[in-house]
């Protein structure tokens, strides 16, 4: 019997398929949700940064964004609520060779896990924190969060939010982060470049990525997913090195995006080794010189 | 690609061409790729995918310039473009 030659009609794989667990795709994120875009941007940055992916760990907490750790085909941790940064700190201290990327949401990192964020930034732990900010608690049904803009509607504030939201870049800067940037899920190329830079940078790096939540935040504020992207397009003001105290999210006056802080400071492990493990430092000196 | 005046350096600058691939069953029909395609090469198709969403389809395959924007904005890893070796024909449109 004549063999039929193999045809190459098979559709090629997506360029990021080698980094995602394709058996779990499609993921749980709603249609129009921006977490998937930020996640793919993060994977593209991991791939483009040239770091050893065998020594890279993605850690995330609980929430919609917290599901990211389950979709990445690298070592990953899906940790308890708010405790992504403590797990990441432990990983880094136990094995300083690892590259740690914390991928989580605003509720996980800044509401229940706010304290851990502050202290990791203060200590300058060597990790990259990516916060997907969708302006509410998406997974639990759209309650008011620490980042919900003033007067925005949510399940628990049906007439408008009376509180003032966090200014996340200012907080990261004030606590001692060495790299702070903010982008939206529409400014993907800038976001990817920023994440690449942050992964390659030593010290605590923080990137805030604004993302629409059409099902909870958008529905209550009369915004369709595309309206939200149009809003990002219209209201975005790209201003690198802007003063962090001017970065509060107010869609009326415009949201400032860009890379705000990029400085160098000794990391926790360096400082610790200097005092408690001077022998290790001496051992490392010839390696550094060679 | 159509121009109202062919650029003077058209013979030295090569316009890249792309082929769009759509993994239909991953799509959730958000329409971001359709809205933000700089060449308006995509449109919602009339068919449904396995999950009941309308995936995009390519209506102007010759317009794709392989910018990868659909690929990076897609939250579902459902669309991507690869470089095509065909060269772009530049056409002058008379107005």
Over the stretch A226-242, which tens digit does the pLDDT of each residue have?
Answer: 999 999 999 999 999 99
Q: Is residue A126 part of a domain?
A: yes
Binary contact (A26, B26; C-beta < 8 A): yes
| pLDDT band at residue A286 under the 50/70/90 scheme | low
| Tokens encoding A235 | 């209201």
A2 pLDDT more than 70:
no
Binary contact (B75, A15; C-beta < 8 A): no
Unique residue bearing structure tokens 């899920």? A185
The rounded distance, in Å, linking the Cα atoms of A257 and A15 is 28
Give the per-residue pLDDT at B28: 94
Residue B94, CA atoms < 13 Å, CB-side half-sphere: 0
Specify the 3-state DSSP secondary structure of A98: coil
A287 pLDDT more than 90:
no
Binary contact (A20, B32; C-beta < 8 A): no
Q: Cβ contacts (< 8 Å) between B73 and chain A: which residues?
A: 37, 185-186, 188
Kindly list the distances between the CA atom of residue B80 and the CA atoms of A238, A248, A252, B56, B66, in Å, as whole numbers in the listed order: 28, 35, 35, 12, 9
Domain count within chain A: 1
Binary contact (B30, A41; C-beta < 8 A): no
| Tokens encoding A248 | 């509060």
Q: Cβ contacts (< 8 Å) between A17 and chain B: which residues?
A: 77
Name the residue range of residue A221's domain: 34-289
Q: How many CB pairs under 8 A join A and B?
A: 69
8 A C-beta contact, residue A53 and residue A20: no
Best interface-test mutation with B: which of A36, A44, A189 has the largest number of B CBs within 10 A? A36
**pLDDT tens-digit readout, B24-53:** 999 999 999 999 999 999 999 999 999 999
Q: Looking at chain A, how many residues does it have?
A: 290
- Nearest Cα residue to A65 out of A194, A193, A208, A198: A208
Q: Cβ contacts (< 8 Å) between B52 and chain A: which residues?
A: none
| Longest pairwise C-alpha distance within chain B | 49
Q: Cβ contacts (< 8 Å) between A16 and chain B: which residues?
A: 77
- Nearest Cα residue to A102 out of A128, A65, A120: A128
Distance from CA of A44 to the nearest CA of B (A): 9
Q: What mean pLDDT is predicted for residues A114-124?
A: 95
Q: Is residue A44 part of a domain?
A: yes
Q: Cβ contacts (< 8 Å) between B29 and chain A: which residues?
A: 31
Unique residue bearing structure tokens 């992504």? A84
Q: Which helix (H) or strand (E) holds A131?
A: strand A127-133
Binary contact (A11, B82; C-beta < 8 A): no
- Nearest Cα residue to B66 out of B16, B13, B1: B16
ipTM value for the complex: 0.88
A177 pLDDT more than 70:
yes
Q: What mean pLDDT is predicted for residues B57-71?
A: 93
Q: What CATH number is associated with residue A43?
A: 3.40.50.970
Nearest chain B alpha carbon to A229: B32
Q: Cβ contacts (< 8 Å) between B66 and chain A: which residues?
A: none
Q: Is residue A8 part of a domain?
A: no
In DSSP terms, A209 is beta-bridged to A132, A183
Of residues B10 and A73, the one with the higher pLDDT is A73
The rounded distance, in Å, linking the Cα atoms of B68 and B73 is 9
CB-nearest to B30 from A11, A31, A188 is A31
Give the per-residue pLDDT at A290: 46
Within 8 A by CB and 6+ apart from A278, the residues are none
A283 pLDDT more than 80:
no
Binary contact (B35, A17; C-beta < 8 A): no
Burial of A182 (0-12, 13-18, 19+ CB in 10 A): buried
8 A C-beta contact, residue A192 and residue A48: yes
High-pLDDT (> 70) share of chain B, %: 96
Residues of A with CB under 8 A from a CB of B: 11-12, 14-17, 20, 25-27, 29-37, 39-41, 44, 185-186, 188-189, 192, 225-226, 229
8 A C-beta contact, residue B32 and residue B74: yes
Give the per-residue pLDDT at B91: 72
Binary contact (A226, B26; C-beta < 8 A): no
8 A C-beta contact, residue A236 and residue A254: yes
In DSSP terms, A207 is beta-bridged to A130, A181
**pLDDT tens-digit readout, A131-149:** 999 999 999 999 999 999 9
Q: Is residue A21 part of a domain?
A: no
Give the per-residue pLDDT at A39: 96
Nearest chain B alpha carbon to A185: B73
Mean pLDDT (chain B, rounded): 89
| pLDDT band at residue A264 under the 50/70/90 scheme | very high
Give the per-residue pLDDT at B94: 65
Q: Is residue A2 part of a domain?
A: no
A6 pLDDT more than 80:
no
Of A24-33, A116-125, A127-136, A273-282, the poorest mean pLDDT is in: A273-282
8 A C-beta contact, residue A59 and residue A76: yes
- Nearest Cα residue to A106 out of A130, A141, A86: A130
Q: What mean pLDDT is predicted for residues A250-262?
A: 93
Unique residue bearing structure tokens 């149009």? A230
B86 pLDDT more than 80:
no
User: Regarding beta strands A179-184 and A255-262, do their DSSP bridges make them parallel or antiparallel, or are they unpaired?
Assistant: antiparallel
| pLDDT band at residue A265 under the 50/70/90 scheme | very high
Q: Is residue A63 part of a domain?
A: yes
* Cα-Cα end-to-end distance for chain A: 64
CATH number of B2-92: 3.30.70.20
The rounded distance, in Å, linking the Cα atoms of B29 and B48 is 10
B90 pLDDT more than 90:
no
Distance from CA of A204 to the nearest CA of B (A): 26
- Nearest Cα residue to A233 out of A210, A264, A260: A210
Q: What mean pLDDT is predicted for residues A196-215?
A: 95
């Amino acid at each position: 019997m004549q063999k039929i030659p193999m045809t190459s009609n098979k559709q090629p794989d997506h360029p990021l398929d080698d980094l995602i667990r394709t058996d779990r795709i499609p993921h749980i994120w709603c249609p129009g949700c921006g977490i998937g875009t930020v996640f793919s941007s993060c994977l593209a940055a991991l791939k483009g940064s040239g770091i050893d992916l065998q020594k890279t760990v993605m850690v995330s907490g609980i929430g919609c964004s917290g599901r990211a750790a389950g979709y990445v085909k690298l070592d990953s941790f899906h940790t308890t609520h708010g405790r992504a940064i403590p797990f990441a700190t432990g990983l880094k201290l136990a094995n300083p060779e690892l590259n740690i990327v914390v991928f989580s949401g605003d509720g996980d990192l800044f509401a229940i896990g706010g304290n851990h964020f502050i202290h990791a930034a203060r200590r300058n732990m060597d990790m990259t924190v990516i916060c997907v900010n969708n302006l509410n608690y998406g997974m639990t049904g759209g309650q008011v969060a620490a980042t919900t803009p003033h007067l925005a509607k949510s399940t628990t504030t049906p007439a408008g939010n009376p509180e003032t939201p966090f200014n996340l870049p200012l907080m990261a800067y004030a606590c001692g982060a060495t790299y702070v940037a903010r982008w939206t899920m529409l400014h993907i190329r800038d976001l990817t470049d920023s994440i690449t830079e942050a992964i390659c940078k030593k010290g605590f790096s923080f990137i805030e990525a604004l993302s629409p939540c059409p099902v909870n935040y958008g529905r209550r504020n009369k915004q369709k997913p595309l309206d939200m992207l149009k809003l990002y397009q219209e209201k975005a003001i790209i201003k690198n090195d802007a003063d962090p105290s001017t970065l509060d999210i107010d869609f009326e006056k415009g949201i400032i995006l860009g890379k705000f802080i990029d400085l160098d400071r000794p990391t926790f492990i360096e400082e610790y080794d200097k005092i408690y493990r001077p022998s290790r430092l001496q051992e490392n000196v010839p390696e550094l010189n060679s | 690609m159509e121009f109202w005046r062919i650029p003077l350096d058209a013979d030295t600058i090569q316009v890249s061409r792309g082929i769009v691939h759509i993994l239909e069953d991953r799509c959730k029909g958000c329409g971001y790729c359709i809205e933000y395609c700089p060449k308006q090469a995509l449109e919602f198709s009339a068919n449904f995918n396995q999950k009941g969403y309308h995936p995009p389809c390519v209506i102007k395959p010759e317009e794709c310039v392989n910018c990868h924007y659909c690929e990076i904005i897609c939250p579902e890893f459902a669309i991507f473009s690869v470089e095509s070796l065909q060269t772009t024909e530049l056409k002058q449109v008379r107005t």
